[in-house]
Amino acid sequence: MELLPRVALYLLMTVPACCAAGALLAQEPHNPPAPPANSADTHKDADKDKDKDAPAIPAEKSVPTHHELAIGGKTLKYTATAGTLLIRDEEDKPYGSIFYVAYTLDGAEPGSRPVSFLYNGGPGSATLWLHMGSFSPVRIQTDSPNPTAGPPFKLVPNEYSLLDKTDLVFIDAPLTGYSRAVGKATAKDFAGVDQDLRAFDRFIERYLNVNQRWNSPKFLIGESYGTTRSAALVDMLANNGVQMNGVVLISSILNYNIRAGGYDMLFIANLPSYAAAAWYFDKIPNKPADLGAWVQEARTFASGAYAQALFAGHNLPADQLDTVAKEVSRFTGLSVDYVKEANLRISPTRFRKEVLRQDRRTLGRYDMRFEGVDLDSAGESPSYDASDAGISGAFVAALHDYLGRELKFESTDTYRPTAYENLQWDWKHRPTSGGPGMGGGEQSQPYVAADLGSALRKNPHLKVFSANGYFDLATPFFSTEYDLSHMDLEPALRGNVQFGYYPSGHMIYLNVDALHKLKDDLAAFIVKAEGN
């Protein structure tokens, strides 16, 4: 797992605004508009926010527009609000202006209507991908898993939106989108695991205050590094008195220590995903009809004979090496000789280059259904990620067009798809709940499954849904299963964690059939979790 899972994709994005339409905060239509930043709601008079040595603090902004969407034969009237909210530091001074887009159902009762906070990850990514591709009232059409044809791109009403079940608040992380450091704050105040958590914690509390949503059922929905954020954020919010009903983890990474040198967990975790890709491309003999059953067979081998062989290291007897290599070959579609030459340990980049080498094709990393074409078929690594290049232009263009044309949001700033330029991320993490199970204090790399376990123990009504793409090689599903099964939950709590699996990649919604199933699964999850 690369520390910045989408870096290849984002570096391709040179259009100024793009990457995930930040989450806009909207109030219920029957509520008064969000008060300006210098109102009593900010807890400070405008004069007290002034600092002669700091840049001027921008005013909070709110731009509502009104729309309709048909879902399941029913027309929903809703308000889309694009805007910014200020968050404050420990001295109650504004230090961040956070951009969001919110979709709220008109006429609903805010005290009982669920509200969900959605975000992408990176870290350092705006929330373009979830906003333009998944559950908002609109979505971009792509040609996935083929490269999407050039403009004009098509933004269509999203019949798979979650708006019929919950209000939706898409949030751009600090330093991305139109979210900015303000006052005396700098990038260092946001560019880190715990710094990022504090910013999201403060934004969510600010949103609840402005929009009178403290009594609403509440959900976190994060993708990729957004799952890292969610697993720790739900515990931080609970410690601050914000009780969540549910957490949705889409394409998870919950332990950044998995690639530590000298350990084999990465190879074990990846093998069932390799098996799924080999099945998809007909690279296995006597291909079974059912992908799920084939993947389960790969899980059994990976956690059994394969793990034992890797544990033996160079002491593995030659006859066992032959046997295990043949099984790895059967599951991955790679030759026995290649598997032996790699000492049974196949890295993700090698697999993506090797499995279709004879076809002169490579596989995407975020979604192995995407095929790339390198300059030649030699070498060990693909020259680019086809699943990045195949969609980025469509999402970037859709976001720019939508914010200005449909949501009427104007800004003199440049919309930042990412904050990767000169971003020095602080990877240290100190869980808000201590104890041996939390890693014994500060962690050099975040292990947040423990934070999530802490939240579940403190709030036994909290529900978790883990959504996984079979063809995702950025955050493989078997690794997520391992992490979520090692939270040391009591038997009574283990049923609070559910799993969903889809024939898609990291961005599950790129497969429209998978999006349909994911929407149905999450709709049922939200209904159940809001009722506890």
pLDDT score, position 441: 83
How far is CA 149 from each of CA 79, 367, 393, rounded to the nearest angstrom? Answer: 31, 18, 9
Q: Residue 88 phi/psi, 5° resolution?
A: -120, 150
The stretch 310-332 carries a mean pLDDT of: 97
Residue 135 has pLDDT above 90, yes or no: yes
Q: Residue 412, Cβ neighbours under 10 Å: how many? A: 4
Q: Give the range among 302-306, 310-314, 495-499, 528-532 with minimum mean pLDDT.
A: 528-532
The stretch 415-442 carries a mean pLDDT of: 79
- CA-based nearest residue to 228, from 252, 207, 199, 250: 252
The stretch 486-496 carries a mean pLDDT of: 97
Residue type, position 366, single letter: Y
pLDDT score, position 440: 59
The stretch 154-163 carries a mean pLDDT of: 97
Q: What is the rounded distance in angstroms from the CA atom of residue 53 to the CA atom of residue 42? A: 21
- CA-based nearest residue to 397, from 42, 208, 138, 152: 152
- CA-based nearest residue to 108, from 34, 165, 41, 169: 165
Q: CB of 336 within 8 A of CB of 357?
A: no
Q: What is the rounded distance in angstroms from the CA atom of residue 225 to the CA atom of residue 518? A: 19
Sign, CA dihedral 335-341-342-344, equals: positive
> DSSP states of 15-57 as a string?
SSS-SS-PPPP---TTSPPPPPTTSGGGSS-HHHH--TTSPPP
The stretch 341-346 carries a mean pLDDT of: 97
Q: Average pLDDT of the chain? A: 89
pLDDT score, position 48: 58
Percent of the chain with pLDDT over 70: 88
Tokens at 134, concatenated: 């998944």
Residue 3 has pLDDT above 80, yes or no: no
Confidence of residue 6 (pLDDT cuts 50, 70, 90): very low
How far is CA 204 from each of CA 18, 171, 209, 460, rounded to the nearest angstrom? Answer: 23, 9, 9, 22
Residue 342 has pLDDT above 80, yes or no: yes
Q: What is the rounded distance in angstroms from the CA atom of residue 502 to the CA atom of residue 495? A: 20
Percent of the chain with pLDDT over 90: 83
The residue among 22 and 391 whose pLDDT is bigger is 391
Residue 39 has pLDDT above 90, yes or no: no
Q: Residue 466 phi/psi, 5° resolution?
A: -105, 115
**318 CB-near residues (< 8 Å, 6+ apart):** none
pLDDT score, position 432: 80
Domains of the chain with CATH codes:
7-257+394-530 (3.40.50.1820), 265-389 (no CATH)
Cis upstream peptide for 476 (omega within 30°):
no
**What totals of helices (H) and strands (E) does the chain contain, helices first?**
17, 14
Residue found under tokens 């990850």: 121
pLDDT score, position 532: 66
The stretch 305-315 carries a mean pLDDT of: 97
pLDDT score, position 51: 63
pLDDT score, position 1: 35
The stretch 232-245 carries a mean pLDDT of: 97
pTM for this model (two decimals): 0.90
The residue among 40 and 169 whose pLDDT is bigger is 169
The stretch 189-210 carries a mean pLDDT of: 98
pLDDT score, position 134: 97
Q: CB of 106 within 8 A of CB of 29?
A: yes
Residue 49 has pLDDT above 80, yes or no: no
pLDDT score, position 110: 86
Residue 248 has pLDDT above 80, yes or no: yes
Residue 439 has pLDDT above 90, yes or no: no
Residue 436 has pLDDT above 50, yes or no: no
Tokens at 75, concatenated: 């027309």
pLDDT score, position 421: 75
| Three-state secondary structure call for residue 167 | strand
How far is CA 367 from each of CA 364, 479, 503, 510, rounded to the nearest angstrom? Answer: 5, 16, 10, 9
Cis upstream peptide for 147 (omega within 30°):
no
pLDDT score, position 259: 76
pLDDT score, position 139: 97
